[in-house]
Amino acid sequence: MLTLLFFALENPMPSVMLRKREDGKLLFYVAKKDLEETIETIEFDSPEKWGGEVVLGDGSKYYFEPMEPAPKIPLTLQAKRL
Amino acid sequence: MAAMTREETEALIQEVLEVYPEKAKKDREKHLAINDQSLEKANKCITSNRKSLPGVMTIRGCAYAGSKGVVWGPIKDMIHISHGPVGCGQYSRAGRRNYYVGTTGINTFGTMNFTSDFTEKDIVFGGDKKLAKLIDEIEVLFPMNKGISIQSECPIGLIGDDIEAVAKVKNKEHGKTIVPVRCEGFRGVSQSLGHHIANDAIRDWVLEKRDGDDSFPTTPYDVAVIGDYNIGGDAWASRTLLEEMGLRVVAQWSGDGTIAEIEKTPKVKLNLIHCYRSMNYIARHMEEKYSIPWIEYNFFGPTKIAESLRRIAEHFDDTIKEGAERVIARYKADYDAVIAKYKPRLEGKRVMLYIGGLRPRHVIGAYEDLGMEVVGTGYEFGHNDDYDRTIKEMGNATLLYDDVTGYEFEEFVKKVQPDLVGSGVKEKYIFQKMGVPFRQMHSWDYSGPYHGYDGFAIFARDMDMTINNPCWKSFKAPWKTEAASEPVKAVA
Ligand code: SF4
């Protein structure tokens, strides 16, 4: 259990479910970590290019490999913890 | 007793923690919190979804309970095999009161217990052969079943049986859906992981069945009710409201539900989630794969029902929006009468709750509609995202307790002295013996439904008959009442 917990907390490449909230904000959800946060800023956020560094509502930072063109959301992606 | 201040609540928590050894105290401290509405995120004040502390009384269940008992069990036209020793299934059989229509033993199987009844021999030599035989027998004895799920109990994972292989072989042979579910009780910290595993099993073995098949005629108003287990008829009381406002309910997950409904769910326009904790996973999956949006709603008490009906209607055109208003108006006289009758009897009463994964926050509105106040609440197996959703529902400086221990709960109740405690059957008799009015809020104390406008009337009546029951006044022995304790004058 301890090792599992450790893994869940420290896994540097969590699989993230992205979805749009009713108010248009992007939600960042990691089931394993039981984390549901809003995305406050995204480095690249245009129809042509999407991704890069994101900052969540709680201040933590993650990185998505930039995608061209922007993907259709909802979507599950690997993110890197920064 | 007046509402407690922050300091008083803090002092109460410290007092209760006092008896624990240092290490246990440190652990339990993180699970007890004082609500602060200004917080956006619950992880600032409370820790949840962690392993229970060894040595304390926890009220939690196991992953098997979450999968077999909660998610899969109510699917009525499937047979759910409790695979392993007989006890897990037999002692939980039919306890949840998820109502369904059908002839039990012929085309529905909800209250029956099917088990492979493992004995020592099966543990030593493996149980796959027995499982295969069991499935064949089911096909002979209950030919009208629409599918079978294999709900693993602890030993299955421990001895390494290959239930997936058996399921595949038997599926070919009988042509029916056979779903192996790896919900062994030892997985995770509570029944919550069982919900997740069950959701994943539905996703992997059932949901895709009708992909690419458009023979099912759809309408723009198709919805699915997800996470309503029809406890005492809850889903029926909800469904009528949705249908009255003009929507078509294609599927009920999973109270009174069928496997065909589940297979058709990817065709709906909107998923309505009642129990977020146990079924958000599948809703998220359907949103991603089939682009079906989902929203959470709350059908406890008229305030929340009206809010929810309007929020659901937002996703549709004007006919549905008008439908929602029509439904609210139609029942107004009814629920106003309920409030007029019971509010004077219940106003100002204080409630403490400790329930599973949804109701600790969802029933608050219904109590408030009756003028009552929820002064403490907690989840058996909630996660952070549940507490996030709870902070705004609860008053400031009220108590939050996660995976509360038997001792803590009793102490809290002794100190806070609520007029009503709502929790499960394991807590019921303790509090009743302490003289505290109690409602069993998992299966509605053999009552229900509590959802919808019809349910609200029953909810109000039940709370009244519990709190204002004359029995609470007879609790003290007559010679122990104050009047009797006055010194008796010596007879001249
Ligand atoms: S923990 Fe294991 S043995 Fe106990 S009820 Fe759950 S599945 Fe059965």
Return d(Cα A27, Cα A17) in angstroms, integer. Answer: 8
The H or E element that residue B399 is part of is strand B399-401
Return d(Cα B74, Cα B89) in angstroms, integer. Answer: 14
CA distances from residue A79 to A42, A68, B240, B485 in whole angstroms, order as listed: 13, 16, 43, 71
pTM recorded for the entire structure: 0.92
Q: Give the model's pLDDT for residue B487.
A: 57
* Nearest alpha carbon to residue B300 among B398, B399, B231: B231
Contact across the interface for B288 and A35, Cβ inside 8 Å: no
Q: Dihedral sign, CA of A41, A46, A47, A53?
A: negative
What would the two tokens of residue A58 be? 């709680």
In the reported structure, the alpha carbon of residue B65 is separated from the centroid of ligand 1 by a whole-number distance in angstroms of 8
Evaluate if residue A43 carries a pLDDT over 50: yes
- Residue of B41, B190, B289, B381 to mutate for A, most A C-beta atoms under 10 A: B41
- Residue of B51, B53, B270, B284 to mutate for A, most A C-beta atoms under 10 A: B284
- ipTM for the predicted complex comes to 0.78
User: With contacts defined as CB-CB under 8 Å, which chain A residues touch B383?
Assistant: 34
Q: Give the model's pLDDT for residue A7.
A: 47
Consecutive 10-residue averages of pLDDT for chain B (492 residues): 83 95 95 92 89 92 96 97 96 92 97 96 96 97 97 96 97 97 95 96 96 95 97 97 97 96 97 96 94 96 97 97 97 97 97 96 97 96 93 93 96 96 95 95 95 97 96 86 60 54
Return d(Cα B450, Cα B439) in angstroms, integer. Answer: 13
Instruction: Give the β-pairing of B294-296 and B270-273.
Output: parallel
Contact across the interface for B284 and A74, Cβ inside 8 Å: yes
B402 CB neighbour count, 10 Å cutoff: 26
